[in-house]
Amino acid sequence: MAPTNDTPVKQALVSDRAPQPAGPYSQGIVSGDLLFTAGFGPQDRAHGNAVAETVGEQTRQVLRNIEAVLAEHGATLDHVLKTTVHLADLADFDEFNAAYQEFFSTPYPVRTTVGSQLANILVEIDVVARVAA
Q: What is the CATH number of the domain that holds 76?
A: 3.30.1330.40
Give the mean pLDDT of 79-96: 98
Q: Which pLDDT score, from 0 to 100, does residue 45 have?
A: 79
Q: Is residue 6 part of a domain?
A: no
* pTM of the predicted model as reported, rounded to 2 decimal places: 0.91
Q: Which pLDDT score, from 0 to 100, does residue 7 have?
A: 65
Q: Which pLDDT score, from 0 to 100, does residue 83 have?
A: 98
Domain residues for the domain of 41 are 11-130
Domains identified in the chain, total number: 1
Give residue-wise pLDDT tens across range 20-68.
888 999 999 999 999 999 999 999 877 667 678 899 999 999 999 999 9
**Burial class (CB within 10 angstroms; exposed 0-12, middle 13-18, buried 19+) of 51:** middle
- 84 Cβ neighbours under 8 A, 6+ residues apart: 39, 111, 112, 114, 125, 126, 127
Q: Is residue 41 part of a domain?
A: yes
